């Protein structure tokens, strides 16, 4: 689960750098930042910034809502046995992958410099993908870790480190997601500056890696004769990873 959390956080970092540098100076996963920018837009009377933040927030909300409906539908009809990631989480991530693929196509068609309505459409698509990712991670049960907003993760990590006699649970995962966010942002910024056509490959690769890791972990469970009856908790070590 730690590797999956890092991969998804890497995708968030790359997506936010892409949106901030090429899609109107806004974020696609950090809605706190967008709300602040929205307030700034009102103060400055900037219709451009206001409209871009509105589109990003609306796209994110749509992604979360769609992911929730997809997850509910999958859980209702009972698709697939329990594994490292539940079936409804896998389906949400697959849908996010589809959105990211569509974003990549639109990015290439626009010559990596989208403007006008193309920019708004790509911004909404990328924000919706990040909203879906946030909803999926929320259902993964990752203790005190997010892959799109990491202020709480950083707060919890620092607090546990400086508290006398207090251990730091999931320390590797917390360090990992913070490093993954920075790595995704750094590599995303490098590609934006040097090979902008390749920018969509970063979040796509991260999602493909996530689904591969989940599938690889699920393979032994599927091969077991008790795969259909074991619950998710019995297939994982105590406390998770």
Residue 202 Cα distances to 60, 125, 170, 212, angstroms:
19, 16, 26, 15
Apex 126 CA angle, 120 and 131, nearest 5: 120
3-state helix, strand, coil in the chain (%, to 5): 75, 0, 25
Low-confidence ranges of the chain (pLDDT < 50): 225, 227-241
Q: Look at residue 166 in the predicted model and tell me its pLDDT.
A: 61
Q: Are the beta carbons of 59 and 126 closer than 8 angstroms?
A: yes
Domains and CATH numbers, the chain: 2-216 (1.20.1250)
What pTM was computed for the model?
Answer: 0.82
- Could you give the CA distance from residue 9 to residue 23 in angstroms, rounded to a whole number? 20
Cα dihedral angle (6, 12, 14, 15), rounded to 10 degrees? 160
Phi, psi of 35 (to 5 degrees): -65, -40
Residue 54 Cα distances to 23, 79, 222, angstroms:
13, 35, 44
């Amino acid at each position: 689960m730690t590797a999956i959390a890092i991969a998804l956080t890497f995708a968030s970092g790359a997506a936010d750098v892409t949106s901030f540098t090429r899609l109107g100076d806004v974020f696609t996963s950090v809605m706190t930042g967008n709300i602040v920018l929205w307030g700034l837009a009102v103060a400055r009377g900037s219709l451009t910034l206001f409209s871009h933040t509105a589109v990003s927030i609306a796209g994110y909300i749509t992604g979360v809502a769609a992911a929730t409906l997809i997850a509910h539908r999958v859980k209702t009809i009972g698709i697939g046995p329990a594994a490292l990631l539940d079936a409804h989480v896998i389906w949400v991530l697959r849908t996010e992958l589809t959105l990211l693929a569509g974003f990549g196509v639109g990015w290439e068609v626009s010559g990596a410099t989208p403007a006008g309505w193309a920019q708004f459409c790509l911004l909404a698509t990328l924000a919706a993908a990040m909203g879906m990712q946030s909803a999926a991670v929320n259902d993964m049960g990752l203790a005190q870790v997010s892959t799109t907003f990491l202020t709480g993760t950083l707060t919890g990590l620092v607090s546990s480190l400086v508290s006398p006699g207090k251990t730091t649970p999931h320390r590797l995962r917390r360090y990992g997601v913070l490093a993954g966010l920075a790595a995704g942002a750094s590599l995303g910024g490098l590609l934006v500056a040097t090979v902008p056509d390749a920018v969509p490959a970063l979040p796509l690769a991260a999602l493909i890696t996530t689904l591969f890791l989940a599938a690889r972990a699920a393979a032994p469970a599927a091969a077991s004769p008790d795969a259909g009856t074991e619950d998710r908790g019995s297939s994982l070590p105590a406390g998770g990873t």
